[in-house]
Amino acid sequence: MSIQKKEDHIQICLDPASQIGSAGWERYRFVHQAMPDVSFAEIDTSCEFLGKPCSIPLMISGMTGGSETAAMINQHIALACETARIPFGVGSMRIALEHPETASSFQVRPYAPNVPILANLGLVQLNYGFGLDECKRAVELLEADALMFHLNPILEAISQDGNTDFTGLMPKLEKIIRHLGVPVLVKEVGFGISAKVAQELRDVGVRTIDVAGWGGTNWAFVEGRRTGNSLGSVFSSWGIPTSDAVRDCSKISGLSVIAGGGMRTGVDMAKAMALGASLSSIAQPALAAALQSPEAVLAVIDRYLGELKTTMFAVGAGTLKALQAASIEVRE
């Protein structure tokens, strides 16, 4: 994986054309409470993630790393997450393990000493020479609270140098879960996780997934544009909308679901929680801000917080637990 590839991804993701489709939140509507019986000033959005207190059920998810631009992005996001008290997951760390000179672009713990930090590797790399030692190195490099494996078969198929052997990964994942020493989470990258796959992940010991569904940054489009591969446009409409993935995967006992993919507003976050999610994740909505400053990223986080609190007020939910029990209707 090259530094130029990382830089290309950043630039393409900044293009509004990379945002394709709908996560499906417009199909759901809360029942408005004209008499909410809560005080807006007392609404509590606090939660816990990976054993640490957070101010809002929002995570800024893995985007990048490996270049000077990526280092700045990660630093700005980490500083903002520390101030806001929310989790941060870095982008794929494969480049840091293969090219140690890039490792510093991922090392955000000094900027975010008190919030959950997640390391990130592609699960398919377990079929290409990576094992427990590499996973431990990624966690140690970041002083991470957990390791997030990402699933990206469509992206790998479109990439010119893609790793497309996804056979036999579940037993290898189970071994990592048993021996790594920190929690192991699994996410998609924008095409969604079905209930069937979520159950299989749960069966080998995964306790938290980010469904990262269709309706946000479209990595078929991104990689297709980068490589000139027409598969990118053909598969830009492929995937499970985030709202459907959240609804279906949240029914699995013992599995915590993060709603990622096309989470554009705090209203989307609230709807995800009402459908069973425990947390939401965003990436591209914070990217342009992260190129500017930590304060710009904080402004994005504050917008989501304000929208979430207003939604909670309008449905009469003073806590996240009450929000999860709020009445929500499907609009066909």
pLDDT tens digits along 77-133: 999 999 999 999 999 999 999 999 999 999 999 999 999 999 999 999 999 999 999
For 28-72, write each residue's pLDDT tens digit.
999 999 999 999 999 999 999 999 999 999 999 977 888 889 999
Position 176, amino acid = I
Q: DSSP letters of 111-145?
A: G-SSS-EEEEEEGGGGGTT--HHHHHHHHHHHT-S
For the chain, what is the domain count? 1
CATH number for the domain that contains residue 29: 3.20.20.70
Asked if residue 172 belongs to a known ligand binding site, the reply is no
| 312 marked ligand binding residue | no
d(CA 154, CA 129) in angstroms, rounded, equals 21
User: Residue 321 corresponds to which tokens in the numbers above?
Assistant: 């637990």
CA-closest candidate to residue 63, choices 95, 91, 88:
91
Is 61 assigned to a binding site?
A: yes
Beta bridge partners of 120: 148
Domain that holds residue 267: 3-330
5 assigned to a ligand binding site:
yes
State yes or no: 46 annotated in a binding site: no
- Is 217 annotated as a binding-site member? yes
Report the distance separating Cα 237 and Cα 4, nearest Å.
27
User: Is residue 229 a known part of a binding site?
Assistant: no
Mean pLDDT of all residues belonging to the chain: 95
pLDDT in tens, 227-263: 888 888 999 999 999 999 999 999 999 999 999 999 9
| 224 in a known ligand binding site | no
* DSSP letter assigned to residue 151: E
Question: What is the bridge-based pairing of β-strands 117-122 and 146-151?
Answer: parallel
> Tell me, what's the pLDDT at 2?
67
Instruction: Tell me whether residue 187 is annotated as binding.
Output: yes
Is 64 marked as binding a ligand? Answer: yes
6 annotated to a ligand binding site: yes
The residue-averaged pLDDT of 177-203 equals 98
Say whether 199 counts as a known binding-site residue: no
Using only C-alpha atoms, what is the Rg of the chain? Answer: 19
93 annotated to bind ligand:
yes
Whole-model pTM: value is 0.96
CA torsion 74→256→285→114, rounded to 10°? -30
Amino acid identity of residue 141, one-letter, is L
284 among annotated binding-site residues: yes
Collapse the DSSP code of 174 into the 3-class scheme (helix H, G, I; strand E, B; otherwise coil) and give the result: helix
Report the Cα 257 to chain-centroid distance in Å.
11
